[in-house]
Each structure stands twice: as C-alpha cells, then as structure tokens.
Amino acid sequence: MSFLIFLMSALGLTGCGATQEQAAVETKPGFENLAEAPVWITSIKAEDVPMYNEASIDYTNKTAKIIDQLEFDLLLFDKSGNPIVDTSSQSSNRHVITKKQLLPNGSDSGKWYIQKGALKMKARLARAVFFDGTTWDDPDTSKWIEREISKY
C-alpha cells in the first residue's frame, strides 16, 4: 500500500511535460527514480557488518516484461555525509549488478559488499536488460553522478 501511495505521489510530482531532469523523483531515503525507468527503487540501506559494509536495495519491476539483469549506481558516504572511496571501484560511485530474473510487476532485492565506513548512500537504476534482449539505459547516469558528488 505504501508503495502505491509513493507511486501516486511521484507521478503527481513529475507532470506530463517534464524533462528527464525534472522527471527524476528524489526521495529523502537517498534514492532517485526516473519516471520512465522500468524499475523503481523502493528502499535502500547501508549496514555496518564485520569486515565490510553491506548495501541492500529493494526494487519493483514497473513493466509487463521479464527482466534478466539490473545495474545500479551507488554513491557512498560516511556517517557524516562525506563521500567515501570504495576500494573495489576506486571511486565514490559503486556500480553493482544483479542477474536475477524479475517477473512483470514483481519485487525483489539485492545485496552487495561495499567499503567499510560507508554508512549512507544514494542509488539510482543505471540499466535494465530484459529477457527479450532489449535494454533500457539511464540517459543521464554520468550527469547524476557528477551532480550528486559535487554537492559534497
């Protein structure tokens, strides 16, 4: 029910003639969904666990197509909100992939190891690969990363 309310409010915010930049719906939890994206992030969490930190993302397929692979960009921050460099990516941006099938209108989640000390993050869908071989790519991924990192 809460996702439906979120979806309805997000659609009301974007309007009919919104540009791609305006069509992004940023929420306080730290994720951003594009109105035209085939998958919407519903929640994210960074957790401190022994030896590393763990990022988790819950998401929902908004299409009538089966999805084979999803790619997300995660921007990592310490507890004070300062960017933190992930040793795996050598950047504050960690690109993560999940290769689980996601049924039409289905929901799922993914977990990834992230840099120790990364306790806050922002996330956005970067790419979706459908079962039929077609793809959806975020046209503004690079701009989003630069814009978000430049805030700090």
> pLDDT tens-digit profile of 111-140?
999 999 999 999 999 999 999 999 999 999
* Separation in Å, CA 73 to CA 122, 126, 137: 8, 6, 12
**Tokens at residue 147, please?**
């814009």
pLDDT in tens, 7-54: 333 333 333 333 333 333 333 458 989 999 999 999 999 998 888 899
CA distance linking residue 77 with residue 83, whole number of Å: 4
At which residue do the structure tokens 């069509």 appear?
A: 23
Domains, in order of start, for the chain: 37-150 (2.60.40.3230)
> Could you give the residue ranges of the DSSP H alpha helices within 1-137?
2-14
SS3 147: helix
